[in-house]
Structures are given as structure tokens and as C-alpha cells.
Amino acid sequence: MELSSEGRPACSVLFEEPSQEVTGQGEAPGPDFWKDLHLEEVVAALVARRGQYDLEQFFRTPLVDPGAVRYRQEVARDLEDPATAECTRAFAEGMDRARSFLRGMGQIRDDFGGGHYRQAWFLDAADNYWSAVSRLHDGLASLAVRSRALLCFREYLSRYVRSEHFVSMGAEVRGLRDDLAAIHYALFIKGPRVTVAHYEGWPDYSTEIERTFRRFRQGEVRDFLADFRDQRDANHVQARVLERLARQHPGPFARLAAFYAGRDRLLDPTIVAFDREVQFYLSYLEFAGPLEQVGLSLCYPEICEAEMNDGRCQTHVEESFDIALAARLATEGTAAVTNDIALSGPERILVVTGPNSGGKTTFARMFGQVHFLASLGLPVPGRSARLSLADRIFTHFEREERLETLHGKLQDELIRVRGILERATNKSVIVMNESFASTTLADSRFIGTRVLEKVTAEGALCVYVTFVDELASLNKATVSMVAEVVPEDPEVRTFKLTRRPADGRAYAKALANKHGLTYTRVVAELTS
């Protein structure tokens, strides 16, 4: 394996072949998808504290190759080990300090000693970079990583730290640090005049003063020592002091200038790529931590391939949940309600019915989220999962009527669903929520029937939330899922969905009984 060259990484922890970063990914979903599935807030939380890494594009772009998904799953499993995760986090902190010095160099002005300051900051950047890489190498060498990606990177790192470039950098950094630390000088200040002189070993009077007055000390006293922060620019006095020191100690300053001029490429592309890409996993694992603390499970789905190729699908997800909702509830110490997904044989469509506010839309979002997160190679909500990798995921949720479109709400819905059905394949996932609810029951039944027949013919996976119970038993591809209520009190939702025939009318009757709105009771009240 060769070291990085021409600015391209030699290996990647996101892509089995680094070239896959631009060629091996699927189509990024449209804006409606993110809004409908509440993934916008999930991605925002994932990248919130890592803005410098520009991770959002990784989270927004699914993979289409099952092998590429498994490649990422291996890395995520390795990083679940606390020691491995801590090793990479410590490395990232060192790299962040190095980049901070490099960014600061560009803001240093050439006047007021800018040249010396820029060289010193470059030395600080090189020192932090060399230390971070060295510690990462030592840490990974002692860890039992198993993923192909981390094994490849560990091998690359071993070669890199033994390279002449890296070894000489470390020697120069340590030598320059020692040379500069050995410089001692004295400042004599008299009025507006400042004299820079060689330090002649004069005693430190502050120590003698402290010893003399120690007997008069009464308890703790305020510390008046000043903390000097790193400065990107010097004032004119500091600049002149630096100039005098450079004249008095030409050797160390000349070596510092030579080090700065001779290191045109400090950061290795493969190491920089690793620093960025590993944050993709760390951010998600940190996001998942609070969910697991409240008792929820995430798992690595088994990706089935053969079933999709011949039109059959075996989709099973146990104890899954809406990850966006779960993240909000976890902040309150509450766990989201979990549900199962099961499709086998010719089954392709989950038709979800039941009372309002019973968890139907949440179930639909969960279905879409699980398939999308699986396509990123990340753990999905659930205790166990086996599913097919989608080529595209489409959503069709109810929208407010838009006057600027010059057509009605129903027409807008039909136009959107037509666009989905024209692009969907037998490997696609479609999530439809309360579609065509603005029309009559008869029209909604008719349109829904035609849509689901088209989905069935195409062989796409679909979850269809509706108030039309008849659609739940349309054909062999459809499976009825019903949002449950507490039998004794239909107003209380359990947010659990079970696989059984739709019976929405029973809820209406129970609610009428509870509130005294049966036909007999209403007639009695009106005639009394």
C-alpha cells in the first residue's frame, strides 16, 4: 500500500474504494422526504457540534450496494468499543488544535512581526499534528479492531509513521521546541524605552518577596498573575522585541524559518480523510447513547438481496421506533413505544388504519427511517432487523393547499403520487400518509385502490396510512395493521400497532357510548 499522493486518500473508512465517494452512492432524497420523516432534525442534531467536518452530505446520501453497507457496519461495530472510540476522539481533538493553528496563520498580518508569529504557529500546528498521529498509531496498534476499513487504515498509519517525512518532522519539531525553550532574555523598561538583553542569571525576586511576606499571609489571596492568550498579531513593541531576539539568537530562528519554508504539505490526505469520516460514526453513536439509556435498542440490519431480485421480500424489524420522536422523549427520560414490522412471501404493502392520534403516522415515519438509516450503513431502531436495501425512498404526506399552483389540493396530491409511481421500482420504498383524505370516501377508496394496485404490480415496498378500511384487504400483497386503543377506554391510545383486520367502526361506537352520543341517547335528549 502506497502513502497518499496527489491529494487523494489511500483508504477510507466510509467507502471500500475511495472513488466510491462520488460514484457508489444512490440518489439523495428530495426536501419533502426529510420533512415528512423528521430526519431533518435528526441530521441537524448529528452535525450540530461538528460543523467543521461538513458531515451533512454523508448523512443525506444513501448507499445502493449491500456490500458497501456491510463495510460501514463493520466500522461502526468497532467504534462501539469505548477504547476505540476514545482513541479516535483524542486524535480528533489533536487534529482540531492543529487545524486551528493553520487557520490562524492565514489571519496573521505581515507587519508587526507577522513572519515570526506565522512560523511559530506553524510549528504549533506541526507539533499537535505529529503528536495526534503518533498517539492514534499507538492506540490503534493495541486495539483489537476487526473491520476491513480500520485494519486497512491501521496498516497505512503504521507505514506513515515510519516514513522519512513523518520521522524527520518529529525530530525537527522536538529540536525546535528545545531550541526555542532554551532562549531566556531580559527586558529593561525605562519610560518609553525597552531594552532586550541576554539573561545573565539574575535571581527571581518574586520568590524572595513571597518568602519574606509569607509570615503575614492570612488565608487565600487573589491571584493577580495574568494569563497570556495566543495572539495572531503582535503590537509594535512585541514585534520589535521579536526582531531583537531573532538577531541575538539567529540559529533557532533561522531553523524555524527553514522548517516553515520546507513543509509545504503538512497534513496527509488519508489522515485528514480519516479524521473527517470517522466523525460520521462517532456522531451517530453519541446520538444513540441516550436512546439506549432509556431502554431502546438499535441493531445492525441483515441486508437481504436474493428476495428482492425475484420479487419476494422478507422484511422483519422487531421493537422499532421513530428515532426523531425517541430522541425528543429521551431528553425527558422517557422511552418511545416500539412496534414490529413483518412482511413475507408476496406481502409488500402495510395498510395502517385506526383512530386518530393512535401512532399511525409515527409508524409510517419509522418504516421510512429504518430503511434509510440502513442504507447509510448505520444501526437502525430495533432489537433485530432484516430488510432489503432500497434504491429510492419516496414519501407522500398530506400538504396544505398552495394557491400559487393554480390547482386544487387533490390535483396536487395526484400529480405528486404520479411522479412517485413513474419512478418507483421493485426495490423502492414508498411511505404514504393520509393521502387523498381531502376527498370523499368513495373517491379516496377508488384512488387508493388504483394506487395500491400500481404499487403491487411494480413490487415496491409500501406503508399506506388511511381511513379507508377496505384497502387493508385489497389483495395478497396487502397486510392490515391497526392502531390499538385501551378496550375499556377507547379515548386512551396505546400507540401499539397490531397485525389484524381493520375494524375502525368499533372505535366510533365505543366513543359514542363513552360520551353519551349513541343514536338512542341523542334522540332521547332531543325529545325530552
Mean predicted confidence (pLDDT) in 365-389: 96
Which pLDDT score, from 0 to 100, does residue 309 have? 46
What is the pLDDT, as a whole number, of residue 519?
72
- For the ranges 198-207, 315-324, 414-423, the one whose mean pLDDT is highest: 315-324
Q: Please state which of the four CATH numbers 3.30.70.270, 1.10.760.10, 3.40.50.300, 3.90.1200.10 is assigned to the domain occupying 297-527.
A: 3.40.50.300
Tens of pLDDT, residues 490-500: 778 889 999 99
Domain residue extents for the chain: 65-181+265-277, 297-527
Contact assessment for residue 133 and residue 157, using Cβ atoms and an 8 Å cutoff: yes
* Residue 331 pLDDT: 95
Q: What angle do CA 124, 276, 321 make, to 5 degrees?
A: 140
Neighbouring CB atoms inside 10 A of 508's CB total: 12
What is the band of 446 on the pLDDT scale with cuts at 50, 70, 90? very high
Residue 5: what are its φ and ψ, rounded to 5°? -145, 155
Whether the predicted pLDDT of 74 surpasses 90 = yes
Burial class (CB in 10 A: 0-12, 13-18, 19+), 35: middle
Binning pLDDT at 50, 70 and 90, where does residue 400 land? low
What confidence score (pLDDT) does residue 396 get? 93
pLDDT value for 308 = 47
| Length of the chain, in residues | 528
Q: What is the 3-state secondary structure (H, E, C) of 93-112?
A: HHHHHHHHHHHHHCCCCCCC
Query: What pLDDT shows up at residue 42?
Result: 96
At 411, the pLDDT band (50, 70, 90 cuts) reads confident
pLDDT for position 1? 44
pLDDT of residue 514: 60
Q: What does the pLDDT read at residue 488?
A: 77
In this predicted structure, what is the pLDDT of residue 84? 97
* Angle CA 169–175–177, to nearest 5: 100
Cell of 159: 507505514
Q: Which of 49-53, 229-233, 401-405 has the lowest mean pLDDT?
A: 401-405
Indicate whether 121 pLDDT > 60: yes
pLDDT at 287: 97
List beta partners, residue 396: 432
Q: Which residue has the cell 429504518?
A: 370
Instruction: Kindly report the pTM of this predicted structure.
Output: 0.86
Work out the mean pLDDT of the chain and round it to a whole number.
87
